Amino acid sequence: MKRAEGVVTKIVSNLYTVFADGEYREAVARGRLKLNPRSVTVGDRVVLSEENGTNVIDSVLPRKNELQRPFVANVDTAFIVIAKEPKPDLLLTDKIIVNCFKEGVTPVLVYNKCELAEDGEIDALKRAYSFIDVIAVSAKLKSGLKELESEVDGKTVCLAGQSAVGKTSLMNAVLDLDLKTDGLSAKIKRGKNTTRHVEIYPALGGHVMDTCGFSMLTLVNIPSDELKYYYEDFLKFADDCKYTACNHISEPGCAVKEAVAAGKLDKGRYDRYLQIYNELIESEKHRY
Ligand code: GDP
Ligand code: ZN
């Protein structure tokens, strides 16, 4: 019995596509894995065996994380795509970053359509988001893709961001790249009109998924007084706040507010933190 380990890239009813040893295999799941629809999902690392010429998923390796809607497993990194046009929605960006840290996903800010950016624009963004990697790319010119590749580095990546920033174009640009090198992606490149289902594609030396799901994009779902823990850029100043539980709102002796005033922390990031904090307070009021 030949055993192999692979990643589930697609599920259509009871048929699983598993990418193992550099190729796609169609597989079915062992009976007990069918009891619960959440036992095997896209992104799962699975152990395959072969029985009478059929690939069978024997077991699912422990998941690193799970994202909901769509339900996918083991996302390592999120490429949060923004662009010159449409104007970057940094409030959305900051919410996605909070969700990433909450779910154990590494956020990377990807500035697409960089050929349209004005001087200094990308540098300013890099300063405001110095706590994560910021990469400038152009799906149109196919530039910056090497940097994207070094971020993927064998991991599973999803693409998040507002509509029209170029997520589909980027996805196609990276799939084209693979097409040139090994021809793998020829049959999986998706058309605009095909029915949407979750699928991940081996690309850039790892796996890339063209969505992160709505739940990464909608409101942050954490208690207001925990929000601060998901602001990595605030943390190094927060140690010096007078109160250990300081939420950096109007408490006296707040080192985070001082850092903003001194230009050591990005004011935009702080203002949007306040906005998200207030949204959370509002939603807590309506809960009781
Ligand atoms: P999505 O909604 O995020 O998937 O965005 P699309 O991939 O559909 O792209 C939206 C628009 O931006 C399309 O008209 C693309 O041709 C255009 N676009 C995508 N990438 C680039 C780029 O790098 N440069 C420029 N100038 N336009 C781009
Ligand atoms: Zn504070």
Q: What is the pLDDT of residues 256-274, one digit of tens each?
A: 999 999 999 999 999 999 9
Distance 113 CA to ligand 1 centre (A): 7
Pocket test for ligand 1, best of 85, 169, 170, 172 (most atoms within 8 A of CB): 169
Q: What is the pLDDT of residue 77?
A: 96
Query: Which pLDDT value is given to residue 68?
Result: 84
Which residue's CA is the nearest one to ligand 1's atom 9? 166
The whole-number pLDDT of residue 179 equals 53
- Note the pLDDT tens digit of each residue in 77-112: 999 999 999 999 999 999 999 999 999 999 999 999
Which ligand 1 atom is nearest residue 85's CA? Answer: 12
What per-residue confidence (pLDDT) applies to 239? Answer: 96
How far apart are alpha carbons 83 and 110 in whole angstroms?
8
Q: What is the pLDDT of residue 210?
A: 79
Question: Residue 185: pLDDT band by 50, 70, 90 thresholds?
Answer: very low
DSSP states of the chain: --EEEEEEEEEETTEEEEEETTEEEEEEE-GGGGSSTTSS-TT-EEEEEEETTEEEEEEEPPPS-EETTTTEE---EEEEEEESSSPP-HHHHHHHHHHHHHHT-EEEEEEE-GGGPPTTHHHHHHHHTTTSEEEE-BTTTTBSHHHHHHHHTT-EEEEE-STTSSHHHHHHHHHHHHHHHHSGGGGTPPPTTSPP--BEEEETTEEEES---GGGTS---S-GGGGGGG-HHHHHHHTTSSSTT--SSS-TT-HHHHHHHTTSS-HHHHHHHHHHHHHHHHHHHHH-
The ligand placed nearest to the CA atom of residue 253 is 2
pLDDT at 116: 96
Q: pLDDT: is 177 or 37 the higher one?
A: 37
Which protein residues are within 6 Å of ligand 1, measured from CB?
Answer: 112-113, 115-116, 138-140, 163-169
The mean pLDDT of 121-126, rounded to a whole number, is: 96
> What is the mean predicted confidence (pLDDT) over 65-71?
87
Q: What pLDDT is stored for residue 199 in this prediction? A: 87
What pLDDT does residue 178 have?
60
pLDDT surpassing 80 at residue 24:
yes
Whether pLDDT at 279 is above 70: yes
Q: Residue 181 — very low, low, confident or very high, per pLDDT cuts 50/70/90?
A: very low
Q: Measured from the CA of 165, which atom of ligand 1 is nearest?
A: 3
Please state the atom number of ligand 1 nearest to the C-alpha of residue 141.
23
Summarize the confidence of residues 220-230 as an average pLDDT: 93
Average pLDDT, the chain: 89
